[in-house]
Amino acid sequence: MAQKFQKKIIPLLRESVNSFVANPIILFPFVTTAFIQLFILEIIYFAPRFPLVYFFGPIIRRMAGEAYLHYPQHLLILPKWFQTAQYFLFIFVSSFLIAVAIEIIKNVNNNKKVTFANALRAMLPQYVHICLAAILTFFVFYALSKLQGSIIGRALQIRSDAGIFYMVKAVVLYGAPYFNLLIGTFATAVFAFVLPLIVIEHKKVLQAVVLNFKYLWGSFWFIFFVVLIPMLFYVPVLLLQSNLSSIASQTLEGVRLLSPAISIIVLTFIDATVYTAVTIHFLLKKESA
C-alpha cells in the first residue's frame, strides 16, 4: 500500500480511496459505525410510537415537552437528539472503530492476515486511551462550537440592514454550518495523529497527544487540507439541511429523516477517506524516518 513518502494531498487521497477499494475490510469498521448510527436514528424516529413510546414517551415528555410526542413536532427534535446521541457514539464507539480501522490498515500495509475480529481484539487494551483521545477531540470541537455560538449571538444583535455590519451579520449567520464544518475539520486535523500513535505505536493518550504535535509540526496545513478536501463532499448535505424546512413543507414532513440518514452515509465515506489517508501518511512518515 505505502510505497514512498510524499507530501502531496491529491495523490495521498487517491491512494486512500484505492486502498479501501482494494481492501474493503478497511471500510468494515466505518460501515459498522454507520449501521449503529442508522439504527439509533431509526429508534429515535419510532420513539413516539407504539411500542417504543412506553419507554421513550416519559423521557421525551420530560426533556422536550408533550408536544414533541406528536407528529410532526417530533421530527423537529429528531436531528437535535440524534446529534446528541452521536456525541456519545463518537466518544465510546466510533472512535474505537476508527482505531480498529487504523489497525486493519497497518496490518494490510504489513501484508499480515487481517480479520475484523482480530483487529477488534488487538484494540481492546487501548480502549480507555482511545476514548480519552476522542473526548479531547470532542472537547476542542465543543469549545470552538461554543465560541461560534457566542459570535452568532453577537451577530444577532446587529441591527443594520445594509453596509459592512450587515455583511458581517449575513456571513456569520448564513455561513454558520460551513464554519462549523471548518471547526470539525480543524479539530480532526489538530489531533490527526493521536489515534494512529495509540494504535500503531501503542502510546498512552498523553504521550500520543505530545507526539501528535511533534508530527504535526510543519505539516499542519497539509493535514488540514487532507481532512478538508473530503469534507467538501459534505457541503451538498449542508445545503440540503438548510433548505430542509421548505422541502418538508412542500413534500412530506418525513423528509426530515432523510437528511441525517444521507449525512451518515456521506460522512462514512469521508471518515474512511480521511483516516485511511492520515494513517497511510503516518506509516510513510514513520518508514521514511
Partner 1 sequence: MKKVIPIYLGILAGVFVLLSLLGRNSDYAIEQAAWKLQREYIDILKDPKVVPEQTFARIIKDYQKIIERYPDSKLTPGLRMIVGNVYLVKKDYETSREKFNEIIKLYPQNKELQAQAHSAIGRTYEAQDNWPGARKVYDRIVADYALTRTGLGVPIHIANHYKAQNDYQKAMDAYDRAIAHYNTLAAQNPDSPAEYSSLRYLGNCYLDQKRWREAVEVFGKVTDKYGRPEHMNIRTLDTILKTINTVSVYQLKNYEFPLQIYQDIIAKNPNHPWKSYFQKMIDTLSTLKAKSVQVPQTQ
- State the residues that interact with partner 1 by CB under 8 A: 24-25, 27-28, 31-32, 35, 38-39, 42, 46, 48-53, 69-72, 74, 252-254
Burial class, 31, CB count within 10 angstroms (exposed 0-12 / middle 13-18 / buried 19+) = middle
Under DSSP, is residue 201 helix (H, G, I), strand (E, B) or coil?
coil
To the nearest whole angstrom, how small is the minimum distance from the Cβ of residue 274 to partner 1? 19
- Where on the phi/psi map is residue 114: left (φ > 0), alpha (ψ -120 to 50), or beta? beta
To the nearest whole angstrom, how small is the minimum distance from the Cβ of residue 93 to partner 1? 15
Cis peptide before 72 (omega within 30 of 0): yes
> Which residue's CB is nearer to partner 1, number 51 or number 125?
51
What is the CB neighbour count within 10 angstroms for residue 116? 16
Nearest to residue 173, comparing CAs of 165, 12, 137? 165
- Where on the phi/psi map is residue 158: left (φ > 0), alpha (ψ -120 to 50), or beta? beta
> Which residue's CB is nearer to partner 1, number 46 or number 225?
46
To the nearest whole angstrom, how small is the minimum distance from the Cβ of residue 77 to partner 1? 14
To the nearest whole angstrom, how small is the minimum distance from the Cβ of residue 42 to partner 1? 6
To the nearest whole angstrom, how small is the minimum distance from the Cβ of residue 6 to partner 1? 29
In eight-state DSSP terms, residue 64 is T
